[in-house]
Structure 1
């Protein structure tokens, strides 16, 4: 499939919930480029985040475009309508050139038997033994196994295809990047299931450039990966083998690659990602979720004064609204309420003590992942402060920008894409 807007080999999705850190995020990509690897920034903000903060989709493009112009960035960059569905596309059509189509709610809804049978008839190559290069173990399948996979995913694929066609009708085919998100489901996909998804997307004429599968383990917000590292690496290799097969056999775009969602702070996975990219030569998109907001909060804490007072107030309020804050993120956080310090204790903390609890340094004895996850989902409390919060961000701008650039470059971009050398 041809597409005029092709995504670069390496890209990183960066969240900027309050639209203040695009220059600092772009600076991290500039440092990566200076080190020898181009990683394209993709600014993303979900529909839920816009609703919570009260922002509009075009504000993301405006902030990104201003940063690009100020920095003289002459490489590609994109704005992602993150986790959108067909019924909420309209506000994003004019300002986004990247669409992450979220079909999680449809996964598992059974496709009609005739639809499944048509898929089986169209894809006899998926029956029997599939021994793809780099696959950890060959795929063994029969009509019943393939039929179950098709029944489970074809309706979700059809929904993604309908959304794609709506965007293409408004913007024109080939003028935007399509990502399909299959990760927000309870069960990890198998290599066969990913093959079915990609084959069906190709059948439907969707020029998918990134696919976000559900990996093994837990990808909790803002903290490290929880799971079997060996199992993740094997699955990663399997998925990459499937993507290569799909590109070759189903006429999908040459730029098709994996997308790792909730990729922020998954430090234990980064060496695996780096050596796998070097070994296979494949591309990668990593979505960093919302840790920029936590760097902003760290900057306010370390600046002391009114910023520190606000952080203390936000923690007190977060404890009071714990259930409300956590409910929308229940599947991607793991907070032990017994490990959350009382509000009056946090109010006595020094800036240094508070920052040590929040900053993601698993080796620091005072780091508290439960407090960090609570703040991660508590950004709506800062949003409710409106101009008061934004004014404090502006007052601490220089320090916050340093933190944001350092976090994105040193702790994400460099270990994933540079490691100990260039590729």
Structure 2
């Protein structure tokens, strides 16, 4: 108990080594029978803090030389730790929102921060158990991870709240001992209330999704129809008149970084105003609401126009960014809808040469009007475009992933509890036609093998084909929330038990698969 005694009597964590943490974990195992995650062993507010495991439950251990400093924890178990003739107190408490807030205050490295223009990757987690694996994927890469990341739509479909998402990720950071900093992304926010709900629990980046205000039909308007639509643009909300808008952009050269330039004709600026005018005004309202509500707390913003019916042209990108800038909106990332197909859970579909040419111009616009990062949404498994984006964006990229981590969790289920995977797959077939409605995918249910036709060893093959991946990808909400007649979850409890029991397998597959996403960007950082 030598190291525990020294810590509880004032040894600064700055003096600790990895060997100290491992020794403390061994001492806690010997003295209290606690299985401790060594990387989590920390000191804050004069207390010893560590994450422990009891079966499939994780408990916060709080050590102090004074019992009163550990008192007041609801449901906590208290143990005395003899050390050199003295008695020191250890409290064990189940994880809770209140304790998560306490740990973030005691250990600031367990709380998210703003990350600015650093190359980054968003790692959405639909189970709440993936963060240690995500950290392994980015460790040593130079890419900043955004660990709490979930859209309001995903929260609704998984029956989670912003607090759940934040707490689960921060507990994972604590467990893994990740002290290098991370961001958090309140993703695809559509209303001021969405902002308020996420601001209340400490999110640091807010992704505005004004897609409901985009008029994609503008691409095909001309003549009197275009003129009428142009008159209906909310010019008052945009704080500019149509005449001033024309004078600003019509038939003038706009130089881009790298020597290129853009020039806009009447039809281009008219269609862009009709298509994106309402979206720009909505994004400005959201930004001003966030700025007012955040007070002195730092925040950063991403603007997303990727979930639209048609690609964002280079001219539209320029006009959207220039107008947002004119209205005083500040942002670190912008997500256009790029050319080609960014379907969920599979690689890019499209002409890579055409994508490279288009992306180069988008990157030039981001350097000219920012700089800001280009954000790649639906970024999971787009392995063919990562080298292109890493090379052309001058390290200013934010790659956003989510569903692929859920699929890797199912890979662990297929390996470790094949009967459960079979039941989930059967259920996914039942739910697919309804659940796919809000997703941009091309999966063909009829070509995916049924569970009864597969041996246990063949189950993972469903996760190797595009059709099977998308079938399982879009049905995540139904799988995680469907309940039985008695009110218990049909799959969720069993799935979580498998991932907790086989946590090392879970972290290993995540590190391997997400590492493939990160490595092209890590290479670009090293150049």
Provide the TM-score with structure 1 as the length reference.
0.85
Cα shift at 1:345: 1.2
Q: Is 62-71 or 49-58 further displaced after alignment?
A: 62-71
Match of 1:406 in 2: 512
Structure 2 match to 1:374: 471
**Whole-Å Cα distance in 1 between the matches of residues 398 and 209 of structure 2?**
16
Shift of 1:282: 4.1
- The 5-angstrom pairing of residues 7-406 of structure 1 reads 7-32=116-141, 37-86=142-191, 87-95=193-201, 96-108=203-215, 110-112=232-234, 118=241, 121=244, 124=247, 126-127=249-250, 128-134=252-258, 138-172=261-295, 175-247=298-370, 254=371, 256-277=372-393, 281-303=394-416, 307-329=417-439, 332-346=440-454, 349-351=455-457, 353-359=458-464, 368-383=465-480, 384=482, 385-406=491-512
| Residue 56 of structure 1: how far off its partner (Å) | 1.2
Separation of aligned partners in 2, 1:120 and 1:175: 37
Mapped to 2, the partners of 1:132 and 1:120 lie a distance apart of: 25
> Which structure would you say has the larger Rg?
2
Q: Provide the C-alpha distance between the structure 2 equivalents of 1:381 and 1:148, rounded to a whole number of angstroms.
A: 39
Gaps of 5+ in 2: 1-112, 217-231, 483-490
Q: Which has the higher strand share?
A: 2
Given that 1:100 and 1:181 are in contact with CA atoms closer than 8 Å, whether structure 2 keeps it comes out as: yes
User: Which structure's relative contact order is higher, taking Cα pairs within 8 Å and 6+ residues apart?
Assistant: 1
- In 2, Cα distance between the equivalents of 1:223 and 1:400? 20
SS of 2:332 mapped into structure 1? strand
Whole-Å separation in 1 of the counterparts to 2:328 and 2:242:
14
d(CA) in 1 for partners of 2:349, 2:288: 37
Q: 1:302 touches 1:355 (CA, 8 Å); kept in 2? A: yes
Runs of 4 or more above 4 Å deviation: 113-117, 122-125
Q: Alignment partner of 2:384: what SS? A: helix
The corresponding residue for 2:15 is: none
**Higher deviation after alignment, 169-178 or 229-238:** 169-178
Say if 1:173 and 1:213 are closer, same or farther in 2 by CA, change over 3 A: farther
Q: Deviations over 1:131-190 (max 9, x none)?
A: 42336x642323443233123212101111111222222212671111111011111111
Residue 48 of structure 1 deviates from its aligned partner by: 1.5
Q: Deviations over 1:205-250 (max 9, x none)?
A: 1111100001001111110000110111111111111112212xxx
TM-superposition CA deviations, 1:268-301 (whole Å, max 9, x none): 1122123224xxx241100013111111110111
Count of residues in Structure 1 that have an aligned counterpart in Structure 2: 387
Shift of 1:66: 1.9
Root-mean-square deviation over aligned CA pairs: 2.3
Contact 1:12 1:288 in 2 (8 A): yes
Normalising by structure 2, report the TM-score: 0.69
Q: Distance between the aligned counterparts of 2:196 and 2:256, measured in 1?
A: 40
SS for the counterpart of 1:89 is: helix
Bigger shift: 65-74 or 78-87? Answer: 65-74
1:251 is matched with which residue? none
Deviations 1:55-82 (A, max 9, x none): 1111121122223233333333122111
Query: Are the aligned partners of 2:340 and 2:351 in contact in 1 as well (CA < 8 Å)?
Result: yes
